[in-house]
Structure 1
Amino acid sequence: MSGDVFEARGYGALPIGFGEKPGLVVVDFQTGFTDPSFPMGGAPMVDRAVGNTARLMRAAKAAGVPVIACVVAFDGPKGAPRWKVAPVHDLLAGTPATALDPRIAAEEPDVVLTKTAPSIFFGTAAGAILTRERVDTVIVTGCITSGCVRASVIDAFSLGFRVQVPEDCVGDHDQAAHDQNLKDVGRRYADITTADEMIAAINAWRGRNSG
């Protein structure tokens, strides 16, 4: 079997598409992952993704699209799952590393949730909020692509949402991990897009619903 073995077996053959109403989720753009003064912060891809997500949030808020952000934080050491990433255990609620990145906070997400597991949907009200808002298409942004973003994509898919992932609105510590995980979720669960494509889709949705 020559070429892409997944493609040859039908993976990625069907586009997900944009549905009736979008919602935007912003995963873990907190200073512990964006500020280079922290052990996990300062990755160039993450910094790029924060800037593009801020633009996307601005368009979403202007169009009336619900925006949910989240941070990872624990009330204490016993509140954390058995993460293998040592610095994650330092993300205690109320500490500077658990604050939203100022560029994200400035765009004023509608809801800010706290989570302890990888996915924005696990153990939070994110799914219920989006369902209440009649959202059927979830745009996933955030970090880290190979970790919490991937988990959030899979949960959004499993909850029945159409999933869109703008490549330049998610980031990782490693380019290969970023590329490989986006390629994999793109062949299984989501459309891989860009910030500009999602802004255009939101503006088109706004135009259809402005009358």
Structure 2
Amino acid sequence: MRDSDNLKGGFDGTLPLGQQPALVVIDFQRGFTEPGLTPLASNCDSQIEQTNALIRAMRGKGRIIFTIIGYEPHLADANLWLTKASSLRCLLRGTSACELDPRLDYDPEQDIILYKTQASAFYGTPLPALLAHQGCDMLIVTGATTSGCVRASVVDSLQSGFAPFVAEDAVADRSAAQHRSNLVDMASKYAEVMPSAQLIQHLQTL
């Protein structure tokens, strides 16, 4: 996934697969996964299918965490981001846009939902504490969008000391070009990017 220019620039290291994994599913909510519901949505069918395969493999191995991004009706908690991205106005708490996609294998008796207002799943949430308590050394990342909240979360994961592993067939973006370029960039500098099948194979060894 790395390109030759980044390899020449010294972005050539590899994060080791961990023994204490966790899975974070970024913003696979109806506002992003149900085309026609909001301007932010795109077809995420195959990515949700791959995410569910990872969820099944993760059961009994580590924590499974879902995030939902949304705002109060007055939108004051959106902060400066709303100035740049007016489409976020449709993500209001309590509406269908802020519901988890019903196709996800979410288990309310085991799994955690974190609500956020900014791009990164780490910003203003208890995610770092949850991962530290588990002793997480491998954070598998799926969700939407590759160039937005996924990327922001991956960068913060690395900066926070949790090795990020992006499931390349379980992340989605409205733009194919941005999806591809961000996967390449994350693989070069911030994360390991690999197919879900390879991650599942590792989980099965734990």
Q: What is the TM-score when the length of structure 1 is the normalising length?
A: 0.89
2:87 & 2:76 partners in 1: Cα distance?
Answer: 15
Q: Distance in 1 between matches of 2:20 and 2:162?
A: 10
Corresponding residue of 1:126: 127
Identical residues among aligned pairs (%): 35
Partner residue, 2:171: 170
Aligned match for 1:79, one of 77, 80, 90: 77
Question: Is 1:29 matched with 2:28?
Answer: yes
Partner of 1:94: 94
Q: Deviations over 1:9-39 (max 9, x none)?
A: 211x111121221000000000000011312
Q: Is the 8 A contact 1:48 1:171 kept in 2?
A: no
Q: Distance in 2 between matches of 1:48 and 1:32?
A: 17
Output the aligned Cα RMSD: 1.6
Any idea what SS the aligned residue of 2:38 has?
A: coil
Match for residue 58 of structure 1?
A: 56
> Matches of 1:14 and 1:64 in 2, distance apart?
26
1:107-162, Cα deviation, whole Å (9 max, x unpaired): 55610010000011100001100111111110111100000000000000000111
Q: TM-score, normalised by structure 2?
A: 0.91
Q: Any residues of structure 2 matched to 1:1-20 within 5 Å, and which?
A: 4-11=4-11, 13-20=12-19
SS at match of 2:23: strand
Q: Which runs of 5+ in 1 are unaligned?
A: 206-211
Equivalences, count: 200
SS at match of 1:154: helix
Q: In the alignment, which residue of structure 2 is the partner of 1:209?
A: none
Residue 8 (structure 1) shift: 1.2
Distance 2:105 2:51 in 1: 11
- Separation (CA, whole Å) in 1 of partners of 2:162 and 2:197: 21
Structure (1/2) with the larger helix percentage: 1
Aligned partners of 1:167, 1:27: CA distance in 2, in Å? Answer: 13
The gaps in structure 2 that reach 5 residues or longer are none
The CA distance in 2 between the partners of 1:105 and 1:166, in whole Å, is 17
